[in-house]
Amino acid sequence: MSRPVTLSLDPAFRVAPVRRRTFGAFVEHLGRCVYTGIYEPEHPTADEDGFRSDVLALTRELGVSSVRYPGGNFVSGYRWEDGIGPVEDRPARHDLAWHSTEPNTVGLDEFMAWAKKAEVEPMYAVNLGTRGIEEALDVLQYANAPQGIALSDQRAANGSPEPYGIRMWCLGNEMDGPWQTGHKTAEEYARLATETARAMRQEDPDLELIACGSSSSQMETFGAWENTVLTDSYDFVDMISAHAYYAERDGDQASFLASADDMDHFIDSVVATADHVRAKLKRDKRIMISFDEWNVWYQHRAESRPPQGDDWPVAPVLLEDIYSAQDAVVFGNLLISLLRHSDRVASASLAQLVNVIAPIMTEPGGEAWRQTTFHPFALTSQHARGEVLDVRLDAPTFANARFGESSAADAVATWDEQDGALSVFVVNRGNTDELALDADLASFGDLELVEAVTLHHEDPYAANTKDAPDTVAPQANDTVRLEGGCLVGTLPAISWSLVRLTRPTA
Catalytic residues: 174, 293
Give every strand in the sheet of 481-483, ordered side by side.
Answer: 392-394, 3-8, 435-440, 486-491, 481-483
Residue 316 — φ and ψ, nearest 5°? -70, 165
Q: Which of 380, 446, 382 is nearest to 413 (CA)?
A: 380
Q: Which of 240, 313, 246, 299 is nearest to 270 (CA)?
A: 240
Please enumerate in sequence order all residues whose Cβ is within 8 A of that of 479, keeping only pairs 6 or more positions apart, or say none. 489, 490
Question: In the 8-state DSSP scheme, what is residue 39?
Answer: B
Could you please report the per-residue DSSP string of 148-206?
SSHHHHHHHHTT--S-----EEEE-S-TT-TTSTT---HHHHHHHHHHHHHHHHHH-TT
Q: Which of 139, 50, 144, 142 is nearest to 103 (CA)?
A: 50
Q: What is the four-CA torsion angle of 109, 113, 118, 122, rounded to 10 degrees?
A: 40
| Cα–Cα dist 455/491, whole Å | 10
Angle between helices 259-281 and 224-233 (to 10 degrees): 40
Question: Dmax over Cα atoms in the chain, in whole Å?
Answer: 71
Q: Tell me the CA distances in angstroms from 65 to 106, 118, 122, 350, one per residue in order.
A: 21, 9, 9, 11
With H, G, I as helix, E, B as strand and everything else as coil, classify residue 31.
Answer: coil
Please enumerate in sequence order all residues whose Cβ is within 8 A of that of 260, keeping only pairs 6 or more positions apart, or say none. 330, 333, 334, 336, 337, 410
**Contact between 373 and 296 (Cβ < 8 Å):** yes
Please enumerate in sequence order all residues whose Cβ is within 8 A of that of 343, keeping only pairs 6 or more positions apart, or say none. 15, 16
CA atoms within 13 A on the CB side of 457: 18
Instruction: State how beta strands 409-416 and 387-389 pair.
Output: antiparallel
| Cα–Cα dist 376/47, whole Å | 29
Question: Over 283-312, what HEC string results?
Answer: CCCCCEEEEEEEEECCCCCHHHCCCCCCCC
Question: In the 8-state DSSP scheme, what is residue 89?
Answer: G
